[in-house]
Structure 1
Amino acid sequence: MTFFYLLTGFVILQRLLEVAYARSNEKAMRRQGAIEVGARHYKWIVLLHVLFFLSLVVEVWSSEGGLGVGWQVFLVIFAIAQGLRVWALSSLGRFWNTKILVLPGAEKVKKGPYRWLPHPNYLVVALEIGALPLVFGAWRTALIFSIANALLLLLVRIPAEEKALQQLKS
C-alpha cells in the first residue's frame, strides 16, 4: 500500500501544482485579452478527475492494495505519459492551461509534440487514466474512466478546442 500512497499522492500533488500553474497562466493571458471558450463543460472535466481519484482509492482499498497483473508494463506506460506531459506543458509554456483560452493574435503552438499531435496532453490523460489504476489492479476504474474520458474528450472538449483554434486563424 505504501507504493500506492506514494504514487497516487505524487499524481494528486502534480495535478494541484498544474492547477496553480494554469491559474497563473490564465491571469496573465486574460490581462492580454484572452477569452475563455467552452466554460460550460469545464466543471465536468474537473468532476471526472475528482471521481477518478476517489474511484481509484476505493477500488484499491477494497482489493487490499496489491499490485496488478503486469503492473510493471502499466508503470512504464504511466512513466512515458509523465514525460510526454512535461514535454507538452513546456512546449505550450505560458499558453498551457486546463481551460480553453483564446488569445487574439496569438499563433498556434507548433513545437514539441504539437508538431505531430494536435492534442498531446489528452493522450497523456488517456494513458494515465488507463495505466495508473492497472498498476494496482483497479481495472474497473481504468475501464469506466477511460470510457468516460474518451466520451468527454471526443464529443465535447476536443470539438470546443478545435473551434477555439479556428478562431485564432480568423
Structure 2
Amino acid sequence: MSSEALFTVLILLVGLERVAELVVSQRNAAWAFARGGVETGRGHYPVMVLIHTGLLVGCLVEAWLADREFLPALGWTMLALVVLSQVVRWWCIGTLGHQWNTRVIVVPGLPLVSSGPYRFLPHPNYLVVVLEGLALPLVHSAWVAAAVFTVANAALLRVRIRAEERALHAVAA
C-alpha cells in the first residue's frame, strides 16, 4: 500500500473520530439544554466546521495532488503527536463529561471544571487542536495544509475563546 493510501486511511480515521465527537456533542447538548443550558457564539460555529473539514480535505488534496512524500523522521514524529493529541482530547472530553461540547453551551449553576487537564490550562482542548492541526498534515509533508489551518484556526480561536470566556463569566457572575 502506498504512503498516500496509508495517509488517506489515517485521515479517514481522524474523520471518524470527529463523527464520534459530534455524536457525544449532540448528546451533551441535549443534556445541557434540558438543564437550562444557554448557547452563545453560534456565528463562529459554521466557520469552525468549515476550517476543520478543510483541514482533512486539504491534507488529502495536498498529499495526493502535490505528490508530497512521506519523510520518516518527520512523519513518524508527527504521527506520535497526532496520537497524543487524540489521547489528550478524549481526556478533556472525559473530564468535562456532559459539559463538553463542540458548541459553546453553558448550564447555569454548574461549577467550572478544574480537574484533569484543566488543572494545568484553562483551554487544553484548544492546545490539542493547534497541535493536531500542525501535526496531522505533516505526517505526509502537507505543509501548505498545516500552514493554512494554523493561520485560520488562530483567527477562529481568538473569537471562540473570547465567546467561551464571556459565556462562562456571565454564568459565574
SS at match of 1:61: helix
Q: Residue type matched to 1:159 in 2?
A: R
Structure 1: gaps (5+ residues)? none
Give the secondary-structure state (helix, strand or coil) at the position aligned to 1:70.
Answer: helix
Give distance in 1, aligned partners of 2:130 and 2:146: 10
| Structure 2 match to 1:91 | 95
Alignment partners' CA distance in 2, 1:42 and 1:16: 16
1:140 is matched with 144
Residue number among 7, 12, 25 corresponding to 2:10 in the alignment:
7
- Cα distance in 1, alignment partners of residues 132 and 148 from structure 2: 13
Task: Report the AA paired with residue 44 of structure 2.
Answer: H
Shift of 1:64: 3.5
Contact persistence 1:25–1:95 (CA under 8 A): yes
1:107–1:168 contact (8 Å) kept in structure 2: no
User: One-letter code of the match for 1:122?
Assistant: Y
- Give unpaired runs (5+ residues) of structure 2: none
After TM superposition, give the deviation of residue 65 of structure 1 in Å. 5.5
Give identity over the alignment, percent.
40
Q: What does 1:13-162 align with in structure 2 at a 5 Å threshold? A: 13-64=16-67, 66-68=69-71, 70-154=74-158, 156-162=159-165
Structure 1 residue matching 2:161: 3-state secondary structure:
helix
Displacement of 1:128: 0.8
**Is the 1:108–1:168 Cα contact (8 Å) retained in structure 2?**
no
Secondary structure of the 1:58 match is: helix
Between the two proteins, the alignment pairs up a number of residues equal to 169
Matched letter for residue 101 of structure 1? I
TM-score of the aligned structures, taking structure 2 as reference length: 0.93
How many angstroms apart in 2 are the aligned matches of 1:34 and 1:75?
37
RMSD: 1.2
Runs of 4+ in 1 over 2 A off after TM superposition: 63-66
Q: Does 1:165 align with 2:168?
A: yes
